Amino acid sequence: MLRRLASTFSTPAATPERSTSPETPAVDPNTHAGRTAVEHDLAHALRAHGVPTTDEDCFACNATCQDDEPQYDGYPRGFDVDWSSDLLGSANPAPRNLVVSTSRSDWAHDHTTDTSTLSYHLQTILNAERGFPPPGTPIDPPPAKDKSAKEAPKPAPEPVKDNKPPGQINLVIGKNGLPQGLSETPRAELEPSSIDAKQPPTSLFSSSLISQSPDEHKESVLVFPEWKVICEVPNSSSGAKDVLAGLNGQANELKSWTLPYRAVVLLCSHKKRDKRCHIAAPLLEKALVQELESHHVSIDTRGDSLNPHHLLDMHAALPREGEAGEREARLRAIEGLDDETGSGEVGIFKISHLGGHRYSGVMIILFPSGATLYYGRVSPKDIPQVVKHTILKGQVIAGLLRGGNNVVRDELKGDSAGACNKKGKSLITW
């Protein structure tokens, strides 16, 4: 059973006030600026559960930005975003995420039904483990009913009415004791010994990542939260089997490396699922690149940093024996080198449908610590805050949060306002 908190968050700005002058327009509750108070309260409620949120809120800032600060355009007119339903809880991240190179930014409506892709082969095996047919298999229609038997007409269901005022957020606590959409997956649950050769719940994405293999029939696969790339994967059923077998600790010939990034951002660009994502992704990518570069952070939007020769310059491939310990040591090095002012590199890739396109733009942000964030209702104007607080400082922006995995920091539970700014209490650290 889910239990709702005794109180919900609402803001006086939920009902637009009349302008006192032509220069003072009414505040629109269907914007982040119109929900400043409620999103601030939500941030404090999340922090009580150990989620490192930020207190700063540029959405509420009325000051004019400096002339030398970049200005980002919003989405075009007619770009419809759902502001009426609760954003938090609209995504439930899987314990493991696989991102497959395709060099494209749009795919078939169901990207796993394209039999020419490695995603198809991977999904076929994942489906078989759970007793499902391969992707795209026609489903037999239910048996026809006996028309001679008359059934009493069923009454039409009552329409579901949401009487919640604009700008109010209902915080729901799940069985795990965390707010809706948040979960924790101990690393031990991903170890081969604990999953009996079966994969944990897995989200599979096709991506714009370009394979660095000279063989056009081989792909790259990013694996999260293990924070590694598997290179030179044959685009075949046997290649897919080797990927999944390797994640289960079984011997194979594939080589993997620790990802060199301090964070990875995945932007949904799947036009054949929803045009809004296809519109949003390039605008968000442009803003991310510009903003990260202003903080002296390198960007990889193609996968060039995952070239095996480049990776070999940093360290050898992960050993097949003792991989977990070696990977942990390399991740600690990433944690120690990067700071809040910049440096390091961020990977930005477009991906297939991740759900919730009514909240476009939608994105996933992943960290070497194993933390995964799903953000929604992100516009290019929000990107400076996403970079400053989330990517560089490892802090959650409550008003953008759809869901997350491994985002709780026990030392934050019940902490006072602003404590999340202390070093060591963020998504960047373990």
Residue 264: give the domain boundaries: 27-63+74-130+167-421
Cα angle 313, 238, 101; round to 5: 50
Report the candidate in 95, 130, 318 with the shortest Cα–Cα distance to residue 228. Answer: 318
- The DSSP call for residue 2 is -
- pLDDT tens, the chain, 430 aa long: 444 443 455 544 333 333 344 454 555 666 776 677 888 889 989 999 999 999 775 554 544 455 556 667 789 888 999 998 999 999 999 999 999 999 999 999 999 999 999 999 999 999 999 899 999 888 766 666 655 555 555 665 554 445 566 666 778 888 889 999 999 998 777 876 545 667 889 999 999 999 999 999 999 999 999 999 999 999 999 999 999 999 988 888 899 999 999 999 999 999 999 999 999 999 999 999 999 999 999 999 999 999 988 888 777 777 766 677 777 777 766 665 555 666 789 999 999 999 999 999 999 999 999 999 999 999 999 999 999 999 999 999 999 999 999 999 988 887 645 444 554 578 887 6
pLDDT of residue 95: 94
Type of residue found at 24: T
Answer yes or no: is 143 within a domain.
no
34-70: burial string, b at 16+ Cβ within 10 Å, e else: bbbbbbbbbbebbbebbbbbbebbbbeeeeeeeeeee
pLDDT of residue 381: 93
Answer yes or no: is 248 within a domain.
yes
Answer yes or no: is 155 within a domain.
no
Answer yes or no: is 319 within a domain.
yes
Answer yes or no: is 16 within a domain.
no
Decide if 405 contacts 93 (C-beta within 8 A). yes
Overall number of domains in the chain = 1
Q: How far apart are CA 250 and CA 243, in angstroms?
A: 10
pLDDT of residue 321: 67
Could you give phi then psi for residue 368, rounded to 5 degrees?
Answer: -60, -25
CB atoms within 10 A of CB 103: 14
Look up the pTM and report it. 0.85
